[in-house]
Structure 1
Amino acid sequence: MAFDKRVLVFGASGTAGSGAVRALLRQGYGVTCVLRSERSVSALPAGVEVVYGDVTAPEMGLAGALSAEKFDVVVSCLASRSGGAKDAWAIDHDAQVTVLDLTKQIGATHFILLSAICVQKPTLPFQHAKLAFEAKLIASGLTYSIVRPTAFFKSLSGQIERLRRGKPFLVFGDGTLTACKPISDDDLGDYVAGCIEDDTRQNRILPIGGPGDAITPKEQGEVLFRLLGREPNFKHVPIAMMGVIHNVLRCAGLVSVNAAEKAGLAQIGQYYASESMLVWNAEQGKYDADKTPSTGTETLFEYYAKVIESGVAIERGDHSVF
């Protein structure tokens, strides 16, 4: 079958990557996915081609495996699993640089990068790694689209099982310290795929959220209790507690690698407990829901209703930290 454009996708087996692949197929593109092993094939929809290779080991000859193919666009949804410093720089930067080099070698002219909205106020290793690669992509001479999504549905679903077991919903402070415009996998996938033909999404950094108003953790909990037919029951955790945990683990990390890794995770948790996933309005010095673009039709609360009705537990995988 002949396609007007062919797209090479990295990170296709992840949540966001699989959404992008589905969208690319719906929009009629030829899609080839680079996978590390055959174990990930089952996560892909029918209609895609597969090439095996490891971007963390570029010397293994992935460029040669792709050299006979012609691709117009590369989409990279690679992301570090833990967010820790070593993993972040290995994946969010080094592996992405390998993908960028491959893009040039195979003659593709448009690179679509799935980044994250939280890099606006970087304090964490993975944020610095992402920003460092964004800068290299911008300077590469390729057409680029840097998509910075807000929170994913899965990352906001971790307490459903707690509530099913009759436990309270945990919030930091009063539950209104942060907010986001959650976006579904398919709505994000459609937005990413739309970057190929929409020149207003090219050579730009693109923050994006889902439809509707920004949502606080307190509102998330209230809706979940209503869907479960329970009276609201919140447990309020002081935000300062996250800082104390991080500092204790950081000190222990001076003599323990395990404690150092846990300190990194605690730092990530502290960040997400205190920072909104919205566009940062530098002029006003605050996060701005009105300046955070929206796309799509699927809402978080519709997703919650489907999950609760199904009775199925959500496997969050890499989203268990975030």
Structure 2
Amino acid sequence: MAPASSDCRGQRVFLVGATGTIGRATARALVARGHDVVCFVRPRRDGAPTSDAASLGLPEGVVLRFGTVTDPASLMRDGLRSEHFDTLVSCLASRTGRPRDAWAIDHDAHLALLDAARASGIGHMVLLSAICVQKPLLAFQEAKLAFERALIASGLDYTIVRPTAFFKSLSGQVERVRRGRPWLLFGDGTLTACKPISDDDLARYLAACVEEPERRNRVLPIGGPGAAITPRAQGEALFALLGRPPRFRHVPVGLLDVIVRGLSASGRVVPALADKAELARIGRYYATESMLVLDPASGRYDALATPGTGSETLFDYYARLLRGDAEAERGDHAVF
């Protein structure tokens, strides 16, 4: 494995997944720490590249290169260009979690990246993964975990970061509650807990992984600051910010089971419904599994064993949303 640089600041970093919310924040954090950042992004849909970093939400100072991350030839020709890079950082993830998308992006595209990194002499890869791969029951989790194993076995230095829940993933009910509707809870609202982390706090953590030798060749779970919070606590906090008494509507988990079974059966006849069944399974997973470190011996989630970083809490974010100082960019990940 490649030795860590004695001067970890000022590295040349090849960043993929730079136009997602975490990717943009990571680009900002890397530039702020003095790194030379090349972002490999998709061309516009009309085939023309966009040369303005600001139009993509990226900071001044990054270099944009355009190509196709799923095409090994494009990675080498349009992205790496036989140039020297110290570290590859991937914030790339499938947009929907559907099986075909997950294996194409979370696994196959990352294998192409890994091969390109090795061929180019890159010595270190920082991978943004997910804490839910600890208990893989879904296609996208299996795909991520399969690539994690490939990276660990590759001979490259690696840092695999498994964050807990993102703020945007926990913001889907803010607008409905603002409009006077109740907060939806599965079960009693205490089935799960998480230590959510902001985009910027996670980005700063990822950027530090580029530099810190003690984070190499490790799998690192990471959450945000403070204690773990349940969905009920999230709802209570939001109502308090609005100055209203809490109103909850309870949804039985069994209803999700019925939906999954129905869509799975229908999907055998209508292929489009198979994708919907997978999305329903994803929804059920997040309704019943905590985003915390899993104790393999007991099979229980452990909030105390889940490290935290940063300063912004989910409730700080809710307050910014309500003031109009932030916008929840959920997009294709709304199901999450």
TM-score where L is the length of structure 1: 0.96
Alpha-carbon separation, structure 1, partners of 2:192 and 2:289:
6
Letter of the 1:15 partner, please give it.
T
Q: Are positions 1:143 and 2:149 aligned together?
A: no
Q: Which moved more, 1:65-74 or 1:168-177?
A: 65-74
Distance in structure 1 (CA, Å) of the matches to 2:328 and 2:10: 37
Equivalent residue for 1:129?
143
Q: Distance in 1 between matches of 2:332 and 2:315?
A: 21
The SS at the match of 2:190 is coil
Q: How does 1:205-224 map onto structure 2 within 5 Å?
A: 205-224=219-238
Pair 1:120-2:126 in alignment: no
Q: Retained in 1: the 8 A contact 2:18–2:27?
A: yes
1:178 maps to what in 2? 192
Shift of 1:5: 1.1
Task: Give, as a single letter, the amino acid of the residue that structure 1 aligns with 2:165.
Answer: A
Helix, strand or coil at the partner of 1:215: coil
Show the counterpart of 1:67.
Answer: 81
Unpaired runs of 5+ residues, structure 2, are: 1-8, 44-48
Give 1:313 shift: 5.3
- Greater shift, 100-109 or 76-85, is seen at 100-109
Residue 259 of structure 1 aligns to a residue whose secondary structure is helix
Q: Which residue of structure 1 aligns with residue 317 of structure 2?
A: 303
* 2:289 matches 1:275: yes
- In the alignment, the residues of structure 1 paired with residue 77 and residue 125 of structure 2 have an alpha-carbon distance, to the nearest angstrom, of 19
Does residue 257 of structure 1 match 2:263? no
Q: 1:291 to 1:255 in 2, by over 3 A?
A: same
Check the 8 A contact 1:210/1:295 in 2, yes or no: yes
Deviations 1:121-150 (A, max 9, x none): 001000000010001100110000000000
1:12 corresponds to 2:6: no
- Contact 1:161–1:313 (8 Å) recurs in 2: no
Distance 2:305 2:289 in 1: 16
Stretch deviating more after TM superposition (311-320 or 129-138): 311-320
Read off the aligned partner of 2:39 and give its amino acid letter.
C
Return the alpha-carbon distance in structure 2 between the equivalents of residues 311 and 298 of structure 1: 14
Q: Secondary structure at the match of 2:256?
A: helix
Tell whether 2:181 aligns with 1:167.
Answer: yes
Q: Aligned equivalents of 2:251 and 2:15: distance in 1?
A: 40
CA contact (8 A) 1:148 1:208 kept: yes
Amino acid at match of 1:32: V
- 2:72 and 2:116 in contact (8 A); partners too: no
1:243 is aligned to 2:257: yes
Mapped to 2, the partners of 1:193 and 1:315 lie a distance apart of 22
Distance 1:78 1:252 in 2: 31
What is the distance in 1 between the residues matched to 2:252 and 2:22? 32
**Residue pair 2:18, 2:24 contacting (<8 A) in 1 also:** yes
1:17-60 deviations in Å (ceiling 9; x for gaps): 1111111011110100000124594221111001111111224x
Q: Which moved more, 1:241-250 or 1:196-205?
A: 196-205
Aligned with 2:225: secondary structure? coil
Match of 1:87 among 101, 111, 134: 101
Which one-letter code corresponds to 2:246 in the other structure?
A: P
* Alpha carbons 1:221, 1:232 under 8 Å: kept: yes
Moved over 3 A (4+): 38-41
CA distance in structure 1 between the aligned counterparts of 2:240 and 2:160, rounded to whole angstroms: 37
SS at match of 1:293: coil
Say which of 96, 109, 112 aligns to 1:98.
112
In 2, the alpha carbon distance for the partners of 1:129 and 1:313 equals 30
- State the secondary structure of the residue aligned to 2:18: coil
Match of 1:287 in 2: 301
CA shift digits 1:235-260 (9 cap, x unpaired) = 00001111110000000001101211
Whole-angstrom CA distance in 2 between matches of 1:310 and 1:221: 19
CA distance in 2, matches of 1:11, 1:124: 22
Does residue 31 of the first structure (1) align with residue 37 of the second (2)?
A: yes
Q: Percent identity?
A: 59
Task: State the alpha-carbon separation in 2 of the partners of residues 298 and 318 from structure 1.
Answer: 24
Equivalent AA in structure 2 for residue 10 of structure 1? V
CA offset digits 1:83-113 (Å, max 9, x no partner)? 0110000000000001111111221100000
34-43 or 242-251, which deviates more? 34-43
